[in-house]
């Protein structure tokens, strides 16, 4: 489940410059479960690369492991990750 975002204009800017990534939806199937999700994210230039932050919310549609009845499980995850440019990572 990947979604490409062109951050090349942001890399030409100084630290602190940011833009909102247009909200997008994704759908995927894992084993027997269907997952649909919507992401609302922001990209911010840092001194080392680009920081992505925001929220991903969705639903997993699956079968109950006990009785096999259909179930819908709400999903919610905060995102706060930094993609670091080559040569700027501190190990």
pLDDT tens per residue across span 16-39 = 999 999 999 999 998 889 999 999
Instruction: Give residue 91's pLDDT band: very low, low, confident or very high (50, 70, 90).
Output: low
For the chain, the residue count is 91
SS3 letters across 23-36: EEEEEEEECCEEEE
The average pLDDT across 58-87 equals 93
Can you give the pTM of this predicted structure?
0.80
Instruction: Give residue 82's pLDDT band: very low, low, confident or very high (50, 70, 90).
Output: very high
Residues 6 or more apart whose Cβ sits within 8 Å of residue 74: 57, 58, 59
């Amino acid at each position: 489940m990947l979604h490409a975002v062109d951050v090349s204009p942001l890399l030409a800017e100084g630290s602190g410059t940011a833009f909102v990534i247009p909200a997008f939806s994704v759908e995927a199937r894992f084993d027997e479960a269907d997952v649909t999700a919507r992401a609302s994210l922001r990209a911010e230039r840092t001194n080392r690369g680009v920081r992505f932050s925001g929220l991903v919310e969705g639903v997993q549609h699956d079968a109950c492991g006990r009785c096999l009845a259909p179930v819908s499980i709400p999903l919610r995850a905060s995102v706060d990750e930094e993609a670091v440019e080559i040569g700027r990572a501190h190990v």
